[in-house]
Structure 1
Amino acid sequence: MSHTDSARTEQIRANLTAARARIEAACHKADRDPSEVSLIGVTKTYPASDVRVLASLGVTDVGENRDQEAAPKAAETADLDLTWHFVGQLQSNKARSVASYADVVHSVDRAKLARALGDRAAAAERRLTCLVQVNLDTGSQAGVIGPRGGVDPADAPALAERIAEHEALTLGGVMAVAPLGADPDEAFARLYEVAGRIRDRYPQATVISAGMSGDLEAAIGRGATHLRLGTALLGSRGPIVG
């Protein structure tokens, strides 16, 4: 390992230790067991070498939000036993590619996309776990997808049904991004309600993917089971190719 690699590993190790301390403190405050909360390392704009560092430190859940970056990175790290999470907005025409490497797709916000992912996963003889992305922006009208994507909370159970009924898909639960400028605690409380409605009908749909580097405490306080952390683990440096 070169000096540069070693320094990067120690930097990420320190960030990971700090992030886990934040998670433990938030869980303690919310009277939750930290083992209930999974950490996904979001590696967008970071090189595959950082994915390897995370894996060496025990972070094997990795997230990406662009297929053109995720697909080659997944191929480059295929020797590692990773769980790949696709967390970004997804066009239906990318379903074939994403279904070939992703294990969990967090951003399913319409029936057409669910069907495309399911059909492509079936063709590849794979099974995909899908989450219903919920739009928590109260300023948006019903049926209008906000800039961050997501289905209107009222329509989430129907989309959950579309996912659950496809033979190649597993309904995992829900995902959301707190709206910019909104109180994340209020937003994630709404997500928790939607999650409960879906879980009442599909008890296996236990995932609540909520919380990023800036609002993980609020997410944990409102029942998040999966956090999507990029900056907190890898820093805020600009795009790096590699």
Structure 2
Amino acid sequence: MDKRQFPMQIKGVLFDKDGTLFDFHRTWIPILESAALTAARGDVSLVPGLMAAGGYDPATGRVASGSVIAAGNTPELALLWLQSLPHWEAADLTMRLDEIFASEAPHRSEPVTDLVAFLTALRGDGFRVGIATNDSAASALATIGQFGLSGLVEFYCGYDSGYGTKPAPGMVHAFCDAVDLEPADVAVVGDNFHDLEMGMAAGAGLRVGVLTGTSAHEDLAPHADLVIGSIVELPALLAGLR
């Protein structure tokens, strides 16, 4: 790694939530299956088709990188599922899915490491910390509270926070405004190319892909400055840039 590639000192880190701080498949497959069953109003036969439409492959147990399940937000998932569920209105299904996600995600989320220790160390090294997710803000807040991160995460936002959705730059700019940094001072860390494209659109100083979500190295490498196995490797990476 050549420091000369990254001349600006990184002072803040904006994390994606699912697939980055939390293992995507262990967390979200059970939640989405539960949501699909609710959306299908108990018709078990519809669940596999809904999951497959979203990008889930039952043969591998994996979700395709860039699919609606991997990278979309709740309204996008609702619109996709409405093709098979004409008895719903889009707004009603979106609201019901968000209720399920906000209720279940905090309790089902599987952290990739001890997040309190991890974020405490980052904050101790002087980094400002935020979370930007295409999940809802309510789900993000509930998960932050569930894992005892409220005093460590200085900013969070969801697709419905008013800053736009990934890959638009608004979430990065909102984080910068909240912690008084410039985009070039910020590392954006995520498991999908829409996280990294958000960082590029915002002018983030560093874009880091992680492999704890739905994407392989080859999916992320064209969009990232660096690709690492998980956030566990991030502190050493950031220290190497100082």
TM score, norm. by length of structure 1: 0.31
Larger RCO, structure (CA 8 Å, separation 6 or more): 2
